[in-house]
Structure 1
């Protein structure tokens, strides 16, 4: 076989990437964002390998949420499970026990929902996040024959991150088909605020996902049946579950925030769009200066005493034709005064919308994408109900 010798007079092929300045390549890498794709870029050339750690906009898509039980032997797993059941059972009784007393109409509150919520709490408190191999080489875990890295290890080689988005594979809170449940929470060293939007069912293009909705004509007040048919109980479960999911996410972010002092914005969300946790630069710095208070019962941030405002509509028709049955909006902020020690109380009281509440409408409506932002804007114009809850 004859070989062709290179023609000495033929000019060397030009690598056009070499002609681009570093600043332009960094613009391209920042548009890519995805940590796995950036990891692949690292192996292309030494130049790429040196530039990728300078990327400012990074997106980490978590492949799996693995329970800590999966990381240990079966015997230690059983011990850990037994250790978790007790604290969570106590937490459940603490959180819900005080709610039944002021609202006798709720009847048997600690019914079937108890086991479901306990399972949710257990899964939230004993889980770790893992990502398939990217640019990190440490902190590996072998699960089912696939090697994973924690987000903290994957991000360790990035030195200039300003905007970080972490996306879970799905929301933590299991809801029935047709049920709407969305939340957004802002944290510093503790919860700054949280907004929750829920609906018992969604009717889209005239097709109901749940039959038998009531008349939409009302005076803005919550009907009496809301307290007796389990409607309030369901909203309380949504609220507490969302707060626990948010505080569990916040707890997991500590090492990442400590390692990356350049962060201006951090968002932890999920592929389902169920929950979004946000932190801006001031909130991130607050957490570095003032460490969070962890819950003694689980691996999550302690939720402070709260003031909540609730808006409810039995039937809410949005401009685009989507209809929400049992639409509920809950706005949550820490209260200045805590409730009694070891007491969780929820005390509904009607009041008219104040100037502060009207000014809050933009904050509430901007918490969700459309059409749910419009739903929040419509709900906040209705009668307001105030609720209180102590730290848990």
Structure 2
């Protein structure tokens, strides 16, 4: 029996194998690039020294903004912190900015809905400013203290500070909690703007209201199942803008939408300068919002243009100056899309700087306009450009 006994030393088991160590760095970087979100990547950093060293090398980064932190919130309580996060974006931007554009638009604030914080407030990365954009304490390196903000016992970082931890970003997406434009409920407003050192182009789609054509149950009412007299009247027009559009404030409201969207876009562009200057590897930058209201896009050529050619700042506020513009407008009193969605007072505005209009293809090109929006609004743009075109001009502001 004694011969069956073994020396206890021989019972020592080999160290367990960490199967992640078998994965090449290239595969781990592929996984991290699929994750993208800075919060999730921050959690990955604490898993191991290897992850901590690999995360700063990823090329695809998504920054989702949590909330706006105001220096006026001196109370350290968590209730104050939650209130600042859930308050929503207030847009006093237009009441402040539009006063200095042109006198006919001084009454623009009348058309604006509930107030939200301005884009300059939400994207301000200076810790001493009245308010700062909060991303949360999530970076690959925990020793970055510059730009941190304390609120309710929680440390927050501005996007500029968080992104400094990444060395090889190529594709960057920043998402705000919501759009800047305070508009009444039921109103549709979407815009997309491309910038270099200044505005390259902008497309705006708006509608006074959006309704849904209810499926008609009456036999023989139509092969598509929709009742032609349900929700809207069948309007057989020639594509012209009706006279009432000018007399009932319709045109004035569209001018407000256009100016407001341009100001929001130029303010976003101005405040992206530090990120663009620091990350020279960028190929694409998108700044959008959770509401899908507005999208600012920059490709590699446009990013490089901004680095070598200083932008012109507006004297009215911290935003890029909007150059003199040529605009084309299409309007439909009622626009029914194939899926039954009806846009009432549908308006499409295509904008380019006046100096570019002669050298670049016409803004009426449907392929350029329809790709600016996701469906079903891309289809709406295609339908609108088939209607009569109206040309407008706007001075620099």
TM-score (structure 1 length as normaliser): 0.81
CA pair 25-178 structure 1, distance change in 2 beyond 3 A: same
Map Cα deviations across residues 78-106 of structure 1 (whole Å, 9 max, x no partner): xxxxxxxxx9778534434256xxxxxxx
Task: Report whether the alignment pairs 1:236 with 2:255.
Answer: yes
Q: What is the correspondence of 1:53-92 to structure 2 with a 5 Å cutoff?
A: 53-66=56-69, 91-92=97-98
Q: CA deviation at 1:64?
A: 1.2
Identify which of 112, 120, 123 aligns with 2:118.
123
Among residues 281, 292, 296, which one is paired with 1:262 in the alignment? 281
Q: Which residue is equivalent to 1:80? A: none
| Residue 214 to residue 280, structure 1, CA distance change in 2 (3 Å) | same
Distance 1:17 1:94, change over 3 A: same
**Distance change in 2, residues 1:375/1:90 (3 Å):** closer
Q: 2:179 aligns with which of 171, 185, 189?
A: 171
Compute the displacement of 1:235 (Å): 0.6
The structure with more radius of gyration: 2
State the partner residue of 1:361: 366
SS in 1 for 2:390: strand
Instruction: Give the 3 Å change call, closer, same or farther, for CA 119–6 of structure 1 in structure 2.
Output: farther
- The alpha-carbon deviation at position 165 of structure 1 amounts to 0.3
The aligned residue for residue 218 of structure 2 is: none
The answer to whether 1:95 aligns with 2:101 is yes
Contact 1:89–1:118 (CA under 8 A) maintained in structure 2: no
Partners of 2:96 and 2:337 in 1: CA distance: 41
Answering whether residue 48 of structure 2 is matched by residue 51 of structure 1, we say no
Match of 1:273 among 278, 292, 300: 292
1:12 maps to which of 6, 12, 15: 15
**Aligned with 1:292 (options 311, 333, 351):** 311
Q: What's the RMSD between the two structures over aligned residues?
A: 2.7
Secondary structure, counterpart of 1:320 in structure 2: coil
Distance 1:144 1:205, change over 3 A: farther
In the TM superposition, residue 24 of structure 1 has moved relative to its aligned partner by 0.3
Is 1:332 aligned to 2:351, yes or no? yes
Aligned: 1:134 with 2:153: no
Match of 2:378 in 1: 373
1:320–1:293: structure 2 CA closer, same or farther, 3 Å change rule? same
TM-score w.r.t. the length of structure 2 is 0.80
The 1:191/1:8 distance shift into structure 2, 3 A limit, reads: farther
Deviations 1:218-267 (A, max 9, x none): 11000000001011111111111111111111111111001100000000
Does 2:189 correspond to 1:181? yes
Between stretches 198-207 and 235-244, larger displacement belongs to: 198-207
Structure 1 counterpart of 2:395:
390
Q: Give the C-alpha shift of residue 294 in structure 1.
A: 1.1
Structure 1: runs of 5 or more not aligned: 72-86, 100-108, 339-354
- Relative to structure 1, the CA distance from residue 215 to residue 7 in structure 2 (aligned partners, 3 Å threshold; closer, same or farther) is farther
Mapped to 1, the partners of 2:14 and 2:302 lie a distance apart of 56
Match of 1:216 in 2: 235
Output the CA distance in 2 between the equivalents of 1:213 and 1:6: 87
Equivalenced residue count is 343
Could you report, residue by residue, the CA deviation over 1:26-58 in whole angstroms, capped at 9, with x for unpaired residues?
000000000011111111111001100000000
Deviations 1:298-343 (A, max 9, x none): 11111111111000000001111111000000001111299xxxxx
Answer whether contact 1:92 1:118 (CA < 8 A) is retained.
Answer: no
